[in-house]
Structure formats: structure tokens, C-alpha cells
Amino acid sequence: MDSDAGSLSSRASSPEFEDGAARFFASEAFGSFCVEQSEPSSSSSSRAGGKARTEKDRSEDGLQELRLKVNSRERKRMHDLNEAMDGLRQVMPYSQGPSVRKLSKIATLMLARNYIMMLTSSLEEMKRLVSDAYGGCQNFASRCTQRGPTVSQGGIPSLTQPLPSVMGAAPVPLSSTNCPTSLLSGYLNLTSIPRGFFKDLQQSSGVYLGSSYGHLSGVPCFCSLCQHQGQQFHQPLPRSTTNPVCLTTGK
């Protein structure tokens, strides 16, 4: 209580020109340092031609200079933070384009979190699918992942190279067109909206390939249901449908 009051009073008593100067810097000289621009302060210049500066004046000027320096650093820090936020926005799905409103900071962070979670889930799903595709070999997916680049290195491992032998079997050559992992990479480039979040942005259509996977229509599908039915492409999923059932088959 007291600290707040003291804080408020100290703010209220701070020199008016400081705030005004900062506002000017923010609008007219964004990105440059405040110290350089605030040098010709009205307070200092008015004293320049006057009587000798007192010790108190010098002390106040020193504090003022320090305060401006600190403010400048803080501004730069926040600008850097905003640049990083912009960088994050650029790699977020549904965050670009002229008709898309800029994501707020909190929205960017929350979307990023869900995006990462979705990619992680997709990777797990991919492992399971690869395992299914190759006779249920339990070790395949993990070995495949170990050979490829890690997520932190740039994303989904590529399987365009011949696969390693699995449980003693001969290596199986795979092309990029029939490799489930490559197909999944394609998916991840196209579908990347976390379900259950940002409902207005949730326009993914197609079939859910598990509890964490959304698809676009017209994209090759390799889920077991569609493969079984001879379907190669998913059909559009009605908006707001959350039932994780393959609509291609209706099951």
C-alpha cells in the first residue's frame, strides 16, 4: 500500500519533459537511443546561461542522465523482445497474409505452444504409422527418427534414403512418394492448426488421423482406414466437427 503510494507519488513528481520526450522518441525516432535524442532537454538548456550550477543541479542531472540511459536500455530490450515475437509470428501458421490481422503477443505465444504440441503429437503419430506400415516393428520408428534430423535441427526426419534394416531384415528402399514420413512432412507443411484452440482459425478439413492430427482435403492420406477403403484423399470435414472419425469412410 505504502510502497504503491510512494511509487505513484514519485512517478507523479518526475519531470514532465521526460515523458514527453519519450513519447516523441517512440513516434518519431523509433529504434534509436533515447540518450542521444534527449540531450537537449529544456531543463538543461535553460540553466546553461544562468548562474553557476550547484551541486544539487549536477546531482539531479546525473540522476536524470542515468534515468534516460536506463530507459533507453529498457526500450531496446523491449524492441528486441518484439523483434523476436515478430520472428515467431512469421513461422506461425495462419499468422501471415494481408487479410490476417496481426496476432497479439499472448495469442502468438499460446498458438506457438499449441503448434509445438501438435507437431510433437504428429511426430508420435508418424512413428506409430511407420511402425504399422512395416509389420509392427517396434524399433523402426525410433531408429528412423535417430537417423534423421532432430526437430530442433529443422523438423521432421526425411526418409528419402533407403531405410535401415529392421530386425535383421534386408534394407527396404523407399522413395519420397511412398514414404509415410515424407508424406507426413508434406502434411505438416499444409496443416498446422492446433485443434481446440483459436476456434475462429480452426479451418482444418479432412480426417483426423488419431487424437492429435488434422488434415486438409485433397492431400494424400495414409491412415489405415482410408488405405483399407482404397481412398487416397480425404474429403472436407465440416467446420466445427470435432469427432475424430474418418469421414471418408464415415467410421
Partner DNA sequence: TAGGCCATCTGGTCCT
Partner DNA sequence: AGGACCAGATGGCCTA
- Helix crossing, 105-133 with 55-90: angle to 10°? 30
User: Of 87 and 173, which CB lies nearer to DNA in the complex structure?
Assistant: 87
Reported as half-sphere exposure (CB side, CA atoms, 13 A), residue 222 has a value of 19
**Closest CB to DNA among residues 66, 172:** 66
C-beta of 32 vs 178, nearer to DNA: 32
**Number of residues that this document lists for the chain:** 251
Stretch of 5-13, 111-119, 197-205, 231-239 lying at the interface with DNA (CB under 7 A) = 5-13
| CB of residue 97 to DNA, shortest distance in Å | 16
Among positions 73-92, residues that touch DNA (CB under 7 A) are 73-75, 77-79, 82
Rounded to a whole number of angstroms, the minimum distance from the CB of residue 122 to DNA is: 28
Is-contact 156 126, C-beta < 8 A? yes
Which of 107, 119, 166, 201 touches DNA by CB under 7 A?
Answer: 107
Q: Which three cell numbers stand for residue 151?
A: 526437430
- Determine, following the binding rule CB under 7 A, whether residue 111 of this chain makes contact with DNA: no
Scanning residues 13 to 32, which ones bind DNA (CB under 7 A)? 14-15, 18-19, 21-23, 25-26, 30
Q: Could you tell me the smallest distance in angstroms from the CB atom of residue 152 to DNA?
A: 21
Helix 105-133 to helix 140-147 angle (10° resolution) is: 120
Nearer to DNA, 28 or 55 (CB): 28
Q: C-beta of 20: minimal distance to DNA in Å?
A: 9
In the beta sheet, which residues pair with residue 220? 233
Which triple of cell numbers denotes residue 85?
515475437
Cell of 142: 525410433
Contact indicator for 188, 122 with CB cutoff of 8 Å = yes
Which SS3 state, helix, strand or coil, does residue 126 take? Answer: helix
The residue (of 69 and 143) whose beta carbon lies closer to DNA is: 69
Q: Which is nearer to DNA, 7 or 160 (CB)?
A: 7
Nearest distance in Å: CB 106, DNA? 6
Give the nearer residue to DNA in terms of CB position, either 71 or 248. 71
Q: What is the dihedral of CA 125, 217, 114, 211, to 10 degrees?
A: -40
Stretch that binds DNA, among 10-18, 150-158, 220-228, 233-241 (CB under 7 A): 10-18
- List, as one string, the DSSP characters of 10-53: HHHTS-HHHHHHHHHHHHHSTTS-HHHHHSS-HHHHHHHTSSPP
Q: In sequence order, which ranges of 96-218 are alpha helices (DSSP H)? A: 105-133, 140-147, 180-190
Binding site for DNA (CB under 7 A): 3-4, 6-8, 10-11, 14-15, 18-19, 21-23, 25-26, 30, 34, 67, 69-75, 77-79, 82, 102, 104-107
